[in-house]
Amino acid sequence: MIWFVLAIIFLVIAISLHKSANKMDRQYSAPSPSPSPSSVLSTPRKTYWEIYRDINPTKASDIENLLKIDFSRLSEKDVKEKIASIDRFAKSLKCGVSQIKTTYLAEIEKYPAELLPQMINSTSRELANEASAFNISQTNTISAMMIAWLKERHEQLGQPDANINAPSTNDEIEIVKALNPRVTEISDLRERLKSLREMSSLYKCPMEQLRVFYINDVKKNYDGKYENFHYLPEAYKYMAHKAYETSSLAGVAPDNTSYGIMCDWLSDLMVEEREKFLATGQVKCIMCGSRNIKLSFFKDCFVCNSCNQKFGGL
Ligand SMILES: [Zn+2]
């Protein structure tokens, strides 16, 4: 859903900025003196883009680099509409014009690449709405820029759909088993292979190293201190929710999505951490304050031996 949410956010911001952009346009054109007949004859009248480039040379070149288009070949209408859309995009991303593409793609790369085709589809539907809301050509919208970059990203990943759905080799299934030791059904292993190939391509990390890669990433945000342990169950709940959300789009069962696999790895890390906190005597009952604590049978939470309270689980 995130691309949809992003698209909506852009549209709302876009509408409010559109009004101020129009106002700025009027202010901008008002003070220009009307040329005298002689100057019209001696020097050809500058185009809108030429005037814009004279006033904002750096930004003008950033704009041309961003879209890789020669703006002097565009009509005045297209130039104005494209500049207004770029300004709206930069404001909504809170970055400069030269950073728009990298900032947008960094946002996109937070989500599994398996969602790229759906992101392209939903942004394509948004294209017409944005064009009519601002009364501009579809080719001059923010959505048009987003679609071009999403398609570019999809192609860079080397048509992941084809690779991801390729038949599984025995070697690959062995890697999947090693990464998911509790999974035994071959159909689940095949679905997990699809998600792991996807993650491997997204994070540019060999499949067999994905678990270590992921755990290291978690540890960048979690310092291993007992008082911060609650971040792990919170992260787990969030990802379990995403697993259900992306399941039908990814065409695999929730447990077998990238998020489902990461939940399993996080679950293992939580068991290790609970054992560590028990061994170092840091665990205190949240009800009675007792330090006489054990792990539950499945090691998925702590149990107080004094009052039987369960805590530190999901
Ligand atoms: Zn207790």
pTM of the model: 0.54
pLDDT score for 42: 54
Q: Calculate the alpha carbon distances from 2 to 5, 93, 122, 123, 271 in Å.
A: 5, 15, 11, 11, 31
Question: pLDDT for 117-163, tens place per residue?
Answer: 889 988 998 999 999 999 999 999 999 999 999 988 888 776 555 56
Range 3-14 burial, b when 16+ CB lie within 10 A, else e: beebbeebbebb
Q: Ligand 1 centroid to 40 CA: how many Å?
A: 89
Q: Ligand 1 centroid to 232 CA: how many Å?
A: 22
Q: Ligand 1 centroid to 274 CA: how many Å?
A: 16
Q: Ligand 1 centroid to 237 CA: how many Å?
A: 25
Cβ neighbours around 86 below 10 Å, total: 20
Q: Distance (Å, rounded) from C-alpha 169 to C-alpha 249? A: 24
Name the pLDDT band for 43 (thresholds 50, 70, 90).
low
Segments making up each domain of the chain, as ranges: 2-156, 163-282, 283-314
Q: Ligand 1 centroid to 292 CA: how many Å?
A: 8
Q: Check pLDDT > 90 for residue 201.
A: no
Q: Ligand 1 centroid to 288 CA: how many Å?
A: 4
Q: Ligand 1 centroid to 68 CA: how many Å?
A: 65
Q: Ligand 1 centroid to 287 CA: how many Å?
A: 5
Q: Rounded mean pLDDT of the chain? A: 85
- 169, amino acid identity: T
Q: Ligand 1 centroid to 289 CA: how many Å?
A: 6
pLDDT score for 117: 84
pLDDT score for 75: 94
Q: Ligand 1 centroid to 297 CA: how many Å?
A: 17
Q: Check pLDDT > 90 for residue 28.
A: no
Q: Check pLDDT > 60 for residue 179.
A: yes
Q: Ligand 1 centroid to 113 CA: how many Å?
A: 45
Q: Ligand 1 centroid to 137 CA: how many Å?
A: 66
